[in-house]
Structure 1
Amino acid sequence: MVNYNGDLLGKNTNFLNHNNRGLRYGDALFETMRMVGGKLFFWEDHYLRLMASMRILRMEIPMHFTMEFLEEEIKKTIAANEGIGEQLRVRLSVHRNDGGLYTPLTNDISYIIEVAPLKEAFYVVDESPYEVELFKDFYVNRDMLSTLKTNNKIINVVGSIFAEENGYQNCLLLNNDKQIVESLNANVFLVKDGKVKTPPLEDGCLNGIVRKKMIEILSKLENFDFEEASISPFELQKADELFVTNSVVGIRPITKYRKKEFGNKVAKELLGKLNAIARLA
């Protein structure tokens, strides 16, 4: 079952049409979250990011669109999907309502809630091979829109096809200055000699929730020197570790880039700390 504006609909129900602005113009946002035992991981952070993004895109935020309201709608959707399990992937999408061309007729919005089962209750380190390559066909712009979780993901789609065609598990995206921005579906971190780096938002990376949590964790650890700084592709083969982060997977170590293979010691240490704050958030 899918929740569309509070109505529970079968997954095969046609409730969007050709006038949908998310389809026509990518005029939409989404949040993807992990939920375990009725608890949404980092829910307040996801909610605040969504509200801030809606304001930036000049969407009208309904008065009832509170954290409590949306959480209840998510729980209602889960209840309607009987037997789906206790650990879930939740996607909350918001799109501007139908009408208009580039200029909308209204800034009012609609929302969609979808849920799907996950295998693991908490974040775990996957140690299977995870090889990446640079995707250089198209570049990410260095502006605020690139930091938002919008439906404008065509570079991610084309990059994912490139990765699949060439036997890679992921690709790293570059901005117009040829600096590493992120992977196709996650933020990226580089470890070298006890120093951890991640690209700054000014380089065009997604303002990721787990990225934010990693920065909070790393800033408090005395055994790591952390900074938000641009990452050159030339640094990749000199790194001790590379890993990517998102809200569903948590931390995913990269095992290989070209001829360089990487460890995962730091990723494992940070994952334990991420799980600890996920339980408390």
Structure 2
Amino acid sequence: MVNFNGDILSQDTLFLNQENRGLKYGDGLFETIRVVNGKIFFWEDHYLRLMASMRIMRMEIPMNFTMEFLEEQLLNTIASNGLENSPARVRLSVFRNNGGYYLPETNEISYIMEVGELDSPFYMIHQQDYVVELFKDFYVNPDMLSTLKSNNKAINVVGSIYAKENGYQNCLLLNNQKQVVEALNGNLFLVMGNTIKTPPKKDGCLNGIIRKKLIEIVGKLEAYTLEEASISPFELQKADELFITNAIVGIQPITRYRKKNFETKVASDLLGKLNAAARLG
């Protein structure tokens, strides 16, 4: 079951058409949200990011688009799929309504919520090999639009195909200054000794929710120093650890990049603290 503008519909209902601006122009945004037993992880952060992104995209925010309204719609959608007592993944998509070409006829929006079940109620470290490579066919532009979770994800799609064809679990993206920006499906963190480093948003990385939470968590720990600074490809093989973050997986350690194998000690330590923050917030 999916939620389209507050109506719960069967997944095979034809409620969109060829005029959809998300399809025609990528004129849409989305949030991917973890919900466990009716608790929405980091809901305020997701909501505020969506509102800020809609403003940047010049979308009209409906008067009823409060945190409370969207939370109710999320939980109703989860319940309609029988997952109210299970870990679930929700994708909340927002797109401008039909009409116009590049210039829209309206800035009013519609939304869709779709749900899938997850394996675990907790963020977990999976011990299997996780090998990455640089994706150098196309580059991320270091601007504000690149930080949005928008429907314009061509580089992520093509990069994912490249990774599958070449036996990698993921790829790392570069911006047009040849700095490492992020992974195909999340933000990147590099560990060197007691220093944890992640690219700054000005380099074009996604304004990730788990990125934000880890920056907050590490900032309170005496054992580590956090740096938001550009990462060159040459630094990757010098690192002690590399890991990727996103709202569904939490923390995904990278086990190998080219000839370098990496530890997972810091990632495992931070994962416990991230799970604690998710339960509290």
In the TM superposition, what whole-angstrom CA distance separates every residue of 1:199-252 from its partner, at most 9, and x where no partner exists? 000000000000000100111111111100000000001100000000000000
Shift of 1:83: 5.4
List gaps (5 residues or longer) in structure 2: none
Aligned residues of 1:130 and 1:254 also touching (Cα < 8 A): yes
Aligned residues of 2:22 and 2:96 also touching (Cα < 8 A): yes
Aligned residues of 1:243 and 1:251 also touching (Cα < 8 A): yes
Aligned residues of 2:5 and 2:110 also touching (Cα < 8 A): yes
Find the counterpart in structure 2 of residue 268 from structure 1. Answer: 268
Aligned residues of 1:84 and 1:116 also touching (Cα < 8 A): no
Secondary structure of 1:223's counterpart equals coil
Runs of 4+ in 1 over 2 A off after TM superposition: 82-85
Measure, in 2, the Cα distance between the counterparts of 1:239 and 1:232: 11
Within the alignment, does 1:233 sit opposite 2:233 as a pair? yes
Find the counterpart in structure 2 of residue 205 from structure 1. Answer: 205
Measure, in 2, the Cα distance between the counterparts of 1:103 and 1:49: 24
In the TM superposition, what whole-angstrom CA distance separates every residue of 1:37-91 from its partner, at most 9, and x where no partner exists? 1000000000000000000100000000001101111111112112575100011
Question: What is the aligned-residue identity percentage?
Answer: 70
CA distance 1:76–1:102, shift in 2 (3 Å) = same
- Give the alignment of 1:188-227 within 5 angstroms: 188-227=188-227
List gaps (5 residues or longer) in structure 1: none
Q: Which amino acid aligns with 1:179?
A: Q
Aligned length: 281
Measure, in 1, the Cα distance between the counterparts of 2:130 and 2:84: 29
Find the counterpart in structure 2 of residue 180 from structure 1. Answer: 180
Aligned residues of 2:122 and 2:275 also touching (Cα < 8 A): yes
Secondary structure of 2:266's counterpart equals helix
- Give the alignment of 1:43-192 within 5 angstroms: 43-82=43-82, 85-192=85-192
CA distance 1:83–1:191, shift in 2 (3 Å) = closer
Measure, in 2, the Cα distance between the counterparts of 1:29 and 1:185: 15
Secondary structure of 1:239's counterpart equals coil
Aligned residues of 1:32 and 1:247 also touching (Cα < 8 A): yes
Shift of 1:13: 1.1
Q: Which amino acid aligns with 2:63?
A: M
Measure, in 2, the Cα distance between the counterparts of 1:126 and 1:22: 34
In the TM superposition, what whole-angstrom CA distance separates every residue of 1:122-148 from its partner, at most 9, and x where no partner exists? 101111100000000000000000000
Q: Which amino acid aligns with 1:209?
A: I
User: Structure 2 length normalisation: TM-score?
Assistant: 0.99
Measure, in 2, the Cα distance between the counterparts of 1:83 and 1:241: 35
Q: Which amino acid aligns with 1:65?
A: F
Measure, in 1, the Cα distance between the counterparts of 2:104 and 2:129: 46
Q: Which amino acid aligns with 2:54?
A: M
Aligned residues of 1:87 and 1:118 also touching (Cα < 8 A): yes
Secondary structure of 1:151's counterpart equals coil
Aligned residues of 1:146 and 1:205 also touching (Cα < 8 A): yes
In the TM superposition, what whole-angstrom CA distance separates every residue of 1:162-209 from its partner, at most 9, and x where no partner exists? 000000000000000000000000000000111110000000000000
Measure, in 2, the Cα distance between the counterparts of 1:132 and 1:84: 35
Measure, in 2, the Cα distance between the counterparts of 1:225 and 1:110: 42
Measure, in 2, the Cα distance between the counterparts of 1:132 and 1:252: 12
Q: Which amino acid aligns with 2:11?
A: K
Aligned residues of 1:241 and 1:266 also touching (Cα < 8 A): yes
Aligned residues of 2:134 and 2:171 also touching (Cα < 8 A): yes
CA RMSD, aligned part only? 0.8
Find the counterpart in structure 1 of residue 19 from structure 2. Answer: 19
Secondary structure of 2:127's counterpart equals coil
Find the counterpart in structure 2 of residue 246 from structure 1. Answer: 246
Find the counterpart in structure 2 of residue 5 from structure 1. Answer: 5
